[in-house]
Every structure is written in structure tokens, then in C-alpha cells.
Homo-oligomer: A and B are copies of this chain.
Amino acid sequence: MADAVKDELAAIETTVVSYLAAFNRGDVDAVLATYADDGVLMGPGNPAAVGKSTLAQAYPGIFEAASFDMDYEIKEAVQIGAEWGFVRTATEGTVTNKASGIAAHATFHELFLLRKSAEGAWQIARYSTSKIS
């Protein structure tokens, strides 16, 4: 691949890895920083959170309910235009219910659709995740 294409793919992956690392830390600000202003989260158990102000309300609830210690695997990362790309991942690790203290092994998979901002930052535009087990 040409270096420019490799650089874009690396930047796309970096955003996703930043998101997953911030999620593991329960770091709301760092999670939000990976999203576009119109970003959408679609996860299990809650309606879609549409736009950064709604995301800013959704993630604290997620992190108050549970802590996450997840390893990730990038299954594929694809640039599909000058301004769009997607990444498919699988995550596996431990989810600890903060109320009960009970820790459980869990696996998920994730589909990230990313868009390059006017400033050149790859940001999460749409994100859907579901629990495998």
C-alpha cells in the first residue's frame, strides 16, 4: 500500500484503540474525545445515544454501573473513501458489576464507522456493539 493509505489506516485504528482504552479506564472525557459531534452509540440495554451531549449523559451511567477490563482484537480496518472508514473488533475480558461486586467473563463485538473531520481527525461517527456472551 502507498504510505498515505497506510497512514490513514493507522490513524483510523488509533482512534478505535483510544476509544477502547478510554472505555477500559472508565474515562468519560477521553471516550467523548474520540466521537464526532454527531456521533451515535448503539449498545445493548439502552436506546441509541445520538450526539455528543447525549453521549456525555450516557457514558457516566455505563461507568457507574460497571467496570471493564477488556482485551481487544482488531478484526479488520478499512478506509472506504477520503473521509470514511470502518473498524470491526472483538473484545473479551471481565465486566464487574459495581453494585454487586460480581465479576463475570464477557465477550463483545464492535463495529465502528469513522469519519475524518475538517481538521483531519478520524472520529467515531456511528458505533454499534453487542454482547456475544
Total residues of chain A contacting the partner, CB 8 A: 28
Select from chain B the residue with minimum beta-carbon distance to A127.
B111
Select from chain B the residue with minimum beta-carbon distance to A83.
B80
Complex contacts, A90 vs chain B, CB 8 Å: 47-48
Complex contacts, A126 vs chain B, CB 8 Å: 86, 88, 111
So how many copies of this chain end up in the complex? 2
Which of A96-133 touch B at CB < 8 Å?
Answer: 109-111, 113, 115, 126, 128-133
Q: Are A111 and B128 in contact (CB under 8 A)?
A: yes
Query: Which of B44, B81, B113 meets A111, CB within 8 Å?
Result: B113
Which of A56-86 touch B at CB < 8 Å?
Answer: 75, 80-81, 83-84, 86
Select from chain B the residue with minimum beta-carbon distance to A44.
B130
A-side residues, CB < 8 A to B, are 40, 42-48, 75, 80-81, 83-84, 86, 88, 90, 109-111, 113, 115, 126, 128-133
